[in-house]
Structure 1
Amino acid sequence: MPTPSSRYLRTAFIVGLFVILCIGGFTYKHISELSQTSKVVKDNYSLRSELELIISNLKDAEIGHRGFLLTYDSLFLTPYKESLQKVNHNLSKLDTLIVPNGEQVEKLKELKNDIKKRFNNFDKSFSLANDDMVLTQDLLFLLHEGEIRMDRIRKDITEMLDLEQRLLTHNQEINEEKIGLTPLLFYGLLIVTLVILLLAYFKMTKDLKALKENNIELEIFEKLTKQSEIVSNTSTWVWYIEENEFEFSDNLYRLVGEEPQSFEPTLENFYKYVHEEDINHLGQQINLMMREEELPFTTYRVVHKDGTIRHLRAYSKLLDDTDGDKKMFGVTIDVTNEVENYRIIEQRNQELERTNKELSAFNYVASHDLQEPLRKIQTFMSRLETKEKDHISESGQLYIQRMKSASARMRMLIEDLLQYSRTNTSEKEYLKTNMNMLLEHAKMELLDSIEEKQAKIICDDLPTMEVISFQIQQLFINLISNSLKYSKEGVPPIIEITHQEVLSKDVEEIKESLYKFHHKITFKDNGIGFEQAYAEKIFLLFNRLHGKSEYSGTGIGLAICKKIVENHKGVIMAEGKPNVGATFIIYLPFLK
């Protein structure tokens, strides 16, 4: 692609060439016009000369005519005849000197006619002359008529000379005007040419300075590029397709364990360093590159002289330069660390999978092996209380009640831990689900508590969302249960559930989210509330704001809620005010 400087220089060259052509054209035109004007002036002088010669020749003819009439000597007829020939010759020259379709043409016709009549008059007078040289009346008349004809000829010639003088004066004025304008025109064109040359010179000087600065920057960039290749374990190479030649950067030699430019950059020499198990695969990819003119990401191994094995990854793409030459630009990266890290990740994934299996086994143990002894303890305490009640002292019965309460709390704790564990380890299958249906199932799950508390639940219509169904249902159960548990004594709980779609950028807590839109679901109650200072602590595992004797629970329910929302890439927040109520706000992302 042409640069602005090259376009400017090209424009300056074209303009300069155009000015030179204009100067040449104007010069040729003015020289032609000057030549034409000079020719007109010369013709004008020639015409005047011919007219004057006609007068002179006619006078010679009259002298011969009169001498013959007086002497009747044929010797006088010789100058007469010569004058006749000369006059005819003069008239022929006048035909060539006078411009056609001009005013002089008509006057020349009149002159020719008068001259013709004058010579006719001469001829008639010769025929009337007698031998005794007596002048007759007719001859005197012809002589008188001849004088009149001669005056008319002089008048015609005088008019033609006057007209030629005017034309000569006009042509001289035009000639002088053109001669005066020509230096000014040439001088102006010369100034324009010099200005263009000066501008081109300053532009070239400026471009040379910029080119020098660019060369310095390129040298710095080249050094930085070489250094960055060393630091980042990358290298570059170029395949010149037309010449089928390669060019390797210095660091590509280092990646195969050699010094820069230590061998000729050819495929055959490079294959010597490729692992024997990867040569066929790399060769196939190179052949594909030569056919398709593009090399996809290809990973292979190279072996250094000391036996060290390094993993390299290559990629290339075709680029056309401004000259139309095809070049393949490639990048080769040392990905040994990446491959090793991937293997470590694979190992850790396997370890994580084993851990998950162990957690599943723990869930089974907790749900069966741990709860089975607890059920037996509760069964024996129930039998002891029923059958041996009369034989147990009051303090013993108090101990039994405390044991029953502790075992019940232990059962609840085990179940909550199981629930929290399932939230972490269960399969995360997201399905389009009607949220209203999940809410109804949660309400049915808590139907006894709702009726006992005489609670009122007001809910907006919820959308269909892609969620893990059982987890969202558990979320609804925990939040409604929390509102029922911490309701005011003697005041029927009112739980308001609302929904709206929001832009992520409009909400401070989610403005950095990768999703543009979020569902906002709010649970608001009129319970005992809490201090806002505890808004984050209530989501911690085993965290309780109230004593065991005031409100039952394990401190796991809201932690489960937070975990479920995080599983859905969302955010949950709490707002509270003592004796006014609590509000839980959930943001769940979605694509629109």
Structure 2
Amino acid sequence: MQRSQTLQFIIASFIGFAFMLGGLSWISFEQISLNKEYAQLVEHTQSVLWLSEELISSMKDVETGQRGYIISGNATHLETYREGKKKVFARLDTLKLLVADNPVQLRSLRKIEAMVKEKIKYVDYSINTTSDSQPLELNVFEKGREAMDNLRVWITTFQSNEKSLLDTRVRSKTHGQSLLPIYQIMLAVASFTLLFISFYLIYSELKNRFKFQRALENKIEELNRSNTELEQFAYVASHDLQEPLRKIRAFCDKLLVRQKMFLNEDGQETLDKISASATRMQILIDDLLNFSRLVSPKKQELAYVNLNNIIEDVLSDFSEVITQKNASFSIAKLPEIKVYSFQMRQLFLNIISNSLKYTKEGVLPRINIEYSTVQGNSIAQLSSVHEDRFFHKITVQDNGIGFEEEYCEKIFVIFQRLHNRNAYQGTGVGLAICRRVMNNHNGFIFAEGKSYDGATFSIYFPITA
């Protein structure tokens, strides 16, 4: 539970940092865009100020051309007048475009344009009068001068408004430029924090993995020692234990044959019990030997085996029991898979033995063996690790006495018996052998059953490419 909470905290932290980095990146991008916009506005305002200065300069050229022509009568001065006049109206048009989004400046510019036209009207009048060799009127000069003064006042007002706007935009630009490093520093700090956390988590995970690997290596070493001890036990069981056991059974047989008639009833019963116990001991040792051989399958070789052939051999071994109990079998076509042949025989021998052993009184045994392929996500007992894998599924279903649901796992524990040995023979090793066989094949075996309603054993072999 603690590990799950830690994982949730790590995921939540990374999501939080991701949103933080995204937010800071977006704010930085927006601020850069604003700074760019402020810079363009400042440049725009400076262009308006420069054009307004050029406008008044061009009007001075108009006045200069007028004055030179009136004084000298030389027509070359009219070129200056015409060029200045052309520039004045061109700059007025440009200024209209530049201040189109500013209603206040646009009204000022219209007033300036009216003053320009009024001034040029008086200039044109003076030039035409001079060209016609007519005397100039003083009041016309005075009105022209007043128009020029008014024009200067309006241009000064126009420039003052623009300079005020320029100051505002420069301050906004400066403020934006001062914020950008702060956002960039915050972004850098968040990035380095996330990098540090990522490094720490990766380092911790690797450290834990190395620790787990060392623990796993120690467990493997312990398991190897245990396997070695088990192999030694198997050797002792197969040689040192069986030899005196054979002698006990041999002497019991001799006594039963030669001396039983001389023993009283209590002595004969005791001798029978000794013989029966020796027989059970022999069966138990044989089962333990079979189990111990499955612990380390290194001496065996994997080979492709037809499971139908294996089952036929097993049924041949049980032919007398099958005939005696009049048992019927329904067997599907099973696959050919790569397995340890001997272990497959052990697997089906024990499962079918169980089905033939635990039958109901007065009911003919019926055993169905079916086959299909399934995906891991359809097997409720498997973890999510196996959900994408595919398996050969073999089910062995009988109509015997079954068992309570609570014993679904206990029956695979070695020496675990659900019934008295007087009612049903056995040592409680058979199904433990089945679980060991499936472990050796990276497979799984599960049992389902109901009391007096049969049992079903589901066997899953992984399908390899």
TM-score range, shorter chain: 0.5 to 0.7
Question: Equivalent residue for 1:237?
Answer: none
Question: Equivalent residue for 1:148?
Answer: none
Q: Contact 1:12 / 1:200 at 8 angstroms: preserved in 2?
A: no
Question: Equivalent residue for 1:545?
Answer: 418
Tell me how far apart the structure 1 counterparts of residues 325 and 156 of structure 2 sit (CA, whole Å): 115
1:205 offset after TM fit, Å?
Answer: 5.5
Question: Equivalent residue for 1:477?
Answer: 349
Tell me how far apart the structure 2 counterparts of residues 19 and 428 of structure 1 sit (CA, whole Å): 86
Question: Equivalent residue for 2:406?
Answer: 533
Q: Contact 1:430 / 1:468 at 8 angstroms: preserved in 2?
A: yes
Tell me how far apart the structure 2 counterparts of residues 483 and 39 of structure 1 sit (CA, whole Å): 120
Tell me how far apart the structure 1 counterparts of residues 415 and 369 of structure 2 sit (CA, whole Å): 26
Tell me how far apart the structure 2 counterparts of residues 203 and 441 of structure 1 sit (CA, whole Å): 88
Deviation per residue, 1:247-290 (Å, 9 max, x gap): xxxxxxxxxxxxxxxxxxxxxxxxxxxxxxxxxxxxxxxxxxxx
Question: Equivalent residue for 1:449?
Answer: 321
Tell me how far apart the structure 2 counterparts of residues 12 and 553 of structure 1 sit (CA, whole Å): 87
1:556 offset after TM fit, Å?
Answer: 1.4
Structure 1 counterpart SS, 2:298? coil
List aligned pairs for 1:361-510, cutoff 5 A: 361-379=232-250, 381-382=252-253, 401-427=272-298, 431=302, 433-434=304-305, 436=307, 437-465=309-337, 467-510=339-382
1:456 offset after TM fit, Å?
Answer: 2.7
Once structures 1 and 2 are overlaid, which stretch shifts more, 489-498 or 416-425? 489-498
Tell me how far apart the structure 1 counterparts of residues 73 and 130 of structure 2 sit (CA, whole Å): 17
Question: Equivalent residue for 1:198?
Answer: 172
Residues 521, 394 of structure 1: alpha-carbon distance in 2 compared, 3 angstrom cutoff:
same
Deviation per residue, 1:46-78 (Å, 9 max, x gap): 55x37xxxxxxxxxxxxxxxxxxxxxxxxxxxx
Letter in 1 for 2:429: I
Question: Equivalent residue for 2:4?
Answer: none
1:419 offset after TM fit, Å?
Answer: 1.3
Deviation per residue, 1:176-212 (Å, 9 max, x gap): 8898578557635753662463375277469659959
Tell me how far apart the structure 2 counterparts of residues 212 and 390 of structure 1 sit (CA, whole Å): 104
Residues 216, 588 of structure 1: alpha-carbon distance in 2 compared, 3 angstrom cutoff:
closer
- Higher RCO structure, 1 or 2 (CA under 8 Å, sep 6+): 2
Residues 455, 184 of structure 1: alpha-carbon distance in 2 compared, 3 angstrom cutoff:
farther
Q: Flag the structure with larger Rg.
A: 1
Q: Contact 2:52 / 2:159 at 8 angstroms: preserved in 1?
A: no
TM norm structure 1: 0.51
Question: Equivalent residue for 2:6?
Answer: none
Tell me how far apart the structure 2 counterparts of residues 375 and 204 of structure 1 sit (CA, whole Å): 98
Deviation per residue, 1:410-459 (Å, 9 max, x gap): 22111111112222244286736346244444444434433443333333
Residues 463, 185 of structure 1: alpha-carbon distance in 2 compared, 3 angstrom cutoff:
farther
Question: Equivalent residue for 2:132?
Answer: 157
1:482 offset after TM fit, Å?
Answer: 0.4
Question: Equivalent residue for 1:37?
Answer: 59
Tell me how far apart the structure 2 counterparts of residues 564 and 432 of structure 1 sit (CA, whole Å): 15
Tell me how far apart the structure 2 counterparts of residues 196 and 589 of structure 1 sit (CA, whole Å): 73
Percent of aligned positions that are identical: 30
Q: Contact 1:23 / 1:186 at 8 angstroms: preserved in 2?
A: no
Residues 418, 8 of structure 1: alpha-carbon distance in 2 compared, 3 angstrom cutoff:
same
Question: Equivalent residue for 1:127?
Answer: none
1:35 offset after TM fit, Å?
Answer: 1.9
Question: Equivalent residue for 2:50?
Answer: 28
Structure 2 counterpart SS, 1:509? coil
Question: Equivalent residue for 1:573?
Answer: 446
Tell me how far apart the structure 1 counterparts of residues 337 and 77 of structure 2 sit (CA, whole Å): 112
List aligned pairs for 1:555-566, cutoff 5 A: 555-566=428-439
Tell me how far apart the structure 2 counterparts of residues 388 and 16 of structure 1 sit (CA, whole Å): 121
Once structures 1 and 2 are overlaid, which stretch shifts more, 506-515 or 410-419? 506-515
1:546 offset after TM fit, Å?
Answer: 1.9
Letter in 2 for 1:566: N
Tell me how far apart the structure 1 counterparts of residues 154 and 326 of structure 2 sit (CA, whole Å): 117
Q: Contact 2:62 / 2:81 at 8 angstroms: preserved in 1?
A: no
Residues 448, 11 of structure 1: alpha-carbon distance in 2 compared, 3 angstrom cutoff:
same
Residues 537, 410 of structure 1: alpha-carbon distance in 2 compared, 3 angstrom cutoff:
same
Letter in 1 for 2:353: S
Match of 1:584 among 425, 441, 457: 457
TM norm structure 2: 0.62
Tell me how far apart the structure 2 counterparts of residues 41 and 428 of structure 1 sit (CA, whole Å): 117
1:484 offset after TM fit, Å?
Answer: 0.7
Tell me how far apart the structure 2 counterparts of residues 194 and 430 of structure 1 sit (CA, whole Å): 88
Match of 1:523 among 373, 376, 396: 396
Residues 31, 557 of structure 1: alpha-carbon distance in 2 compared, 3 angstrom cutoff:
same
Tell me how far apart the structure 2 counterparts of residues 588 and 428 of structure 1 sit (CA, whole Å): 21
Tell me how far apart the structure 1 counterparts of residues 129 and 189 of structure 2 sit (CA, whole Å): 89
Q: Contact 1:12 / 1:196 at 8 angstroms: preserved in 2?
A: no
Q: Contact 2:61 / 2:81 at 8 angstroms: preserved in 1?
A: no
Number of matched pairs: 382
Tell me how far apart the structure 2 counterparts of residues 507 and 179 of structure 1 sit (CA, whole Å): 92
Tell me how far apart the structure 2 counterparts of residues 154 and 531 of structure 1 sit (CA, whole Å): 129
Runs of at least 5 residues in structure 2 that lack an aligned partner in the other structure: 1-20, 86-127
More helix by share: 2
Letter in 2 for 1:26: V
1:366 offset after TM fit, Å?
Answer: 1.9
List aligned pairs for 1:312-323, cutoff 5 A: none
What RMSD in Å do the two structures reach over aligned CA positions? Answer: 5.2
Letter in 2 for 1:39: D
Once structures 1 and 2 are overlaid, which stretch shifts more, 463-472 or 382-391? 382-391
1:21 offset after TM fit, Å?
Answer: 3.4
Q: Contact 1:501 / 1:517 at 8 angstroms: preserved in 2?
A: no
